[in-house]
Amino acid sequence: MRFASHVVLCVVASTLSTALPAPQEEPSPTVTLADGATTTLPTAASTDIAVAIDQLEQLANFAQDEVNASLEDTTTGKRMQKRGTCNRKTLAVRREWGSLSPKERKAYTTAVLCLQSKQAKTPTSLVPGVRSRFDDWVSTHINQTMTIHYTGTFLAWHRYFTWHYEQALRNECGYTGYQPYWDWAKTAQTGLEKSPILDGSDTSMSGNGEFIPDAGNIVVGGDGLSEISFPAGSGGGCVTSGPFKNMTVNLGPVSESVPGGGTISNGDGLSYNPRCLKRDLTDFVNQRFANATGVVDLIVKPQDVETFQMTMQGVPGTGELGVHGGGHYSMGGDPGRDFFVSPGDPLFYLHHGAIDRTWWIWQTLDKKTRSGAEGISGTGTFLNNPASPNTTLDTIIDLGFSAGPAVTVRDLMSTTDGPLCYIYQ
Ligand SMILES: [Cu+2]
């Protein structure tokens, strides 16, 4: 495990470049929508953040229209290739946190606290540190970290992981809404602590950790690879307000990046290690790696899934964390800065809602290609080390004790054409 965490850290290592490359403004192509109307979509992100936010909304609207039209009705014969039973009546709509009413936000965090109060399904003989149903997800992620990041399964695995978490909130804790997501582009503009997600109010996901002054830089990488170094955030200590102020993190750390450089671990992270939830909100990372321009570029530039998923996770050696690392490191803290244990911060699921939404929009731009076999690239091991077979539509995704049943990647390539049935607003 020590070796494994070392590999994880090396991969995101490289030099921090100071500016985004200036994208060229290209003429927008005209796209025919499923209902026959036409629209023009951006082909490159604007460096003007306000314009890029509009572009992102335009792309999301396009995806919504496309999926809605494909679910319209069966009488036209337009959707004969559809596999699942998802229809407009059963369709769930996942929304951005800030668009939920205060009551809806509270219902979500209450359900998360409920999950944290329920008994774990994972036997303590296998994972001694699990103390709650919430921990089932954390331990599954710790156990599978090296086979679900920089692999062919990354996107599909996290889609299923987040979906089952949402299902558990609904089916085991009486939540009637759907999984909300974190719009990184919005918080990059407002600042994390001013956003409704992280303002520390009763209707937030709790806020920052207590401020720890003079914390050194966070350094990701090293050991022969160039490093990404960025300043610690505006917190660092225990979360002091909001719904999760009394929350206990039970598992980990495995590979937690700490101020001043380096990482700390508690062995394999599976033993019982109760401690407070820490956050270190870092606007710099949010603004540098997950602003609107970056998100739009991620959606419109990559033409194949290999480029898309590598850009999203940060191509090793380029100095980029991608929006995936950007979200994780902008929440910071413990377990936020730990690749293995990160689902131990409830904010993880809003972040991965956003990851999944980005994939969903990208897939919808060329649905046929990007939801089939051509929409998969990679193997079952971290950067194919050690070498393993290619991920295919038949590859099994198994979430262990979190939730069953095991499914194939085929079932997860669409959020509406298989067993899943949701879109994003
Ligand atoms: Cu993960």
Structural domain of residue 33, as residue ranges?
2-424
CATH number at residue 37: 1.10.1280.10
Residue 81 Cα, ligand 1 centroid: separation in angstroms? Answer: 31
Residue type, 424: Y
| Cβ pair 289, 322 in contact under 8 A | yes
**387 C-beta neighbours (distance < 10 Å), count:** 8
- Distance between CA atoms of residues 158 and 332, nearest Å: 20
Closest CA to 367 of 417, 404, 332: 417
The tokens describing 398, both together, are: 């198994």
pLDDT of residue 226: 67
Number of structural domains (the chain) is 1
pLDDT digits (tens, 9 = 90+) for 85-97: 899 899 999 999 9
Residue 352 Cα, ligand 1 centroid: separation in angstroms? Answer: 8
pLDDT of residue 305: 98
**277 C-beta neighbours (distance < 10 Å), count:** 22
In 57-144, beta strands by DSSP E:
92-94
Low-confidence ranges of the chain (pLDDT < 70): 1-29, 32-36, 73-83, 222-226
Residue 340 Cα, ligand 1 centroid: separation in angstroms? Answer: 7
Query: How many residues would you count in the chain?
Result: 425
- Distance between CA atoms of residues 183 and 167, nearest Å: 21
| β-strand pairing of 236-239 with 263-264 | unpaired
Q: Is 178 exposed, middle or buried (0-12, 13-18, 19+ CB in 10 A)?
A: buried
Between the two ends of the chain, the Cα-to-Cα distance in Å is: 39
The tokens describing 254, both together, are: 């495995």
Residue 105 Cα, ligand 1 centroid: separation in angstroms? Answer: 24
- Distance between CA atoms of residues 171 and 59, nearest Å: 32
Residue 51 Cα, ligand 1 centroid: separation in angstroms? Answer: 31
Q: What is the DSSP string of 204-262?
A: TT--PEEE-TT---EEEE-TTS-EEEE---S-EEEE-SSTTTT-EE-S--SSEE-TTS-
Residue 308 Cα, ligand 1 centroid: separation in angstroms? Answer: 16
Peptide bond just before 405 cis, omega within 30 deg: yes
Residue 345 Cα, ligand 1 centroid: separation in angstroms? Answer: 12
For residue 288, CA distances in Å to 169, 199, 298, 328, 354 come to 33, 21, 14, 13, 17
Residue 71 Cα, ligand 1 centroid: separation in angstroms? Answer: 30
pLDDT of residue 82: 61
Residue 146 Cα, ligand 1 centroid: separation in angstroms? Answer: 9
Phi then psi dihedrals of residue 84, to 5 deg:
-90, -170
pLDDT of residue 319: 86
Residue 347 Cα, ligand 1 centroid: separation in angstroms? Answer: 13
Give the up-direction half-sphere exposure of residue 65: CA atoms within 13 A in the CB hemisphere: 16
Residue 102 Cα, ligand 1 centroid: separation in angstroms? Answer: 29
- Distance between CA atoms of residues 419 and 18, nearest Å: 43
Exposure string (b/e) for 311-339, b if CB count within 10 Å is 16 or more?
bbbbebebbbbbbbbbbbbbbbbbbbbbb
Residue that the structure tokens 């990488």 belong to: 221
